[in-house]
Amino acid sequence: MADGSDTTLTTAPIQTPAGLVTGLKSFVAEHGGAKAVIEYVGKRGARIVLVGQDGVWGDQFATDTNVARQACATAGVEVENEWERELMDQMRPSNDLWRSMGRRAMSR
């Protein structure tokens, strides 16, 4: 290495919105724990899909996948790398969700 060169990489800390972390913690508390899958959704950012221990699921949005991962870590939510069969089997869609999905299919 040449004199005076420094190859240490420094990055700014990731800023996680307080409302996002609060929302994640609230979901975890209401559903006895949760696991998350983070999905990249292009310019919109990242979708955090939460699956509660009771089978209820919901989602939150972050500006990017790094912010989503940091928010999950701060809230104590385990992040799965992909949709595993066991996690999908745990999901229990509500009757309202089934009705809304049916209306969307019928309107096409």
- Provide the token pair at 46: 């990242």
76 pLDDT tier (thresholds 50, 70, 90) = very high
Distances (CA, A) of 35 to 45, 68, 88: 19, 13, 11
Statement: the pTM of the whole predicted model exceeds 0.75: no
Of 4-13, 16-25, 48-57, 97-106, give the lowest mean pLDDT range: 97-106
Instruction: Give me the helices (H) in the chain, please.
Output: 18-30, 65-75, 85-90, 95-106
- Provide the token pair at 6: 């420094």
107 pLDDT tier (thresholds 50, 70, 90) = very low
DSSP lists the bridge partners of residue 58 as: 50
Q: What is the pLDDT of residue 44?
A: 87
CA-to-CA distance for 100 and 103, rounded, in angstroms? Answer: 5
